[in-house]
């Protein structure tokens, strides 16, 4: 079985459409979108459009609502209340460990893939992000990186989409992802930015969504990335988000 890991961003969408055009072979058996239930509305709208363009099925899997599960208070066997902070919010000692990709992307994806093992997963990492390539999450999986094999960069994906007459895909990342650049925070629709602000407000005290460690609605969103600030998203991603 050949299965596309579909993040519904630029690279994975281009890869899926290239396969539909016969430019990457063999024809995939399916594409799987692991839904955190916390993506921007633009991503869900794009996914609905993309499904109509592909000759193979797009399967949506989910472990649940990332926002709700992050904010759900739990009680230990000793009676201590605690939260499972899946997202890498910024605390006193820097960002928390990133658990959202593994638990809400990889786990539901592999749970569905198990019925088809062994299986080859196509992952939409492009040549300019080849450092994000990872070993498979399970031994019965082979990771394939068609865009790297073809030496295609993200910019090439956008050009391919334009030449094929397709619209530009959105960037796939949760609304409240702490690895958003300042530009991405600014680009969020006001309703989704408000949702991120409310999400942050409900995090445990001392946890923030921006590296400046101030409330999101008080951040001065000047473009640090334009002045050389590292975008931490790419370095930390398991190749399942933003592609």
Residue 229's contacts (CB-CB under 8 Å, 6 or more residues apart) are none
What percent of the chain shows pLDDT beyond 70? 92
- pLDDT of 176: 97
Q: Quick one: pLDDT at residue 171?
A: 86
The pLDDT confidence band at residue 227, using thresholds 50, 70 and 90, is low
Name which of 199, 230, 226, 227 is nearest 215 in CA terms: 199
Residue in this structure with the two tokens 């990342």, named with its chain if needed: 173
The β-bridge relationship of strands 141-144 and 90-91 is unpaired
Architecture of domain 2-236: 3-Layer(aba) Sandwich (3.40)
Q: How far apart are the first and last CA of the chain?
A: 21
Using the predicted structure, report yes or no on whether residue 233 has a pLDDT greater than 70: no
Does pLDDT of 85 surpass 70?
yes
**Which is more confident, 243 or 239?**
243
- For residue 93, what pLDDT is reported? 86
Secondary element (H or E) of residue 171: none
- What mean pLDDT do residues 196-207 have? 96
Domain boundaries, the chain: 2-236
For every residue of 44-68, which 3-state class applies, written as one string? HHHHHHHHHHCCCCEEEECCCCHHH
- Above 60 in pLDDT, residue 235? no
- Band (201; pLDDT cuts 50, 70, 90): very high
Q: Which of 49-58, 90-99, 149-158 has the lowest mean pLDDT?
A: 90-99
Tell me what pLDDT residue 234 has: 59
Lowest mean pLDDT across 11-20, 31-40, 222-231: 222-231
H or E element in which residue 13 lies: helix 10-20
* pLDDT tens-digit map of 2-28: 999 999 999 999 999 999 999 999 999
Q: Is residue 137 predicted with pLDDT exceeding 90?
A: no
């Amino acid at each position: 079985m050949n299965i596309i890991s579909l993040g519904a961003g630029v690279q994975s969408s281009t890869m899926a459409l290239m396969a539909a055009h016969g430019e990457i072979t063999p024809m995939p058996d399916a594409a799987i979108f692991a839904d955190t239930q916390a993506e921007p509305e633009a991503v869900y709208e794009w996914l609905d459009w993309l499904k109509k363009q592909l000759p193979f099925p797009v399967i949506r899997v989910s472990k649940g609502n990332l926002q709700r599960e992050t904010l759900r208070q739990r009680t230990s066997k000793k009676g201590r209340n605690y939260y499972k902070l899946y997202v890498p919010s910024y605390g006193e000692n820097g960002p928390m460990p990133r658990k959202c990709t593994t638990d809400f992307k990889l786990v539901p994806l592999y749970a569905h893939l198990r019925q088809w093992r062994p299986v080859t997963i196509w992952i939409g990492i492009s040549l300019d992000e080849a450092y994000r390539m990872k070993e498979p999450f399970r031994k019965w999986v082979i990771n394939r990186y068609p865009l790297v094999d073809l030496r295609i960069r993200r910019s090439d994906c956008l050009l391919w989409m334009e030449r094929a007459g397709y619209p530009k895909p959105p960037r796939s990342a949760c609304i409240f992802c702490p690895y958003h650049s300042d530009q991405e925070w600014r680009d969020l629709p006001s309703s989704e930015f408000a949702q991120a602000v409310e999400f942050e407000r409900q995090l445990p005290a001392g946890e923030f969504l921006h590296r400046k460690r101030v409330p999101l609605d008080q951040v001065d969103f000047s473009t640090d990335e334009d002045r050389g600030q590292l975008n931490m998203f790419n370095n930390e991603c398991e190749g399942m988000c933003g592609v």
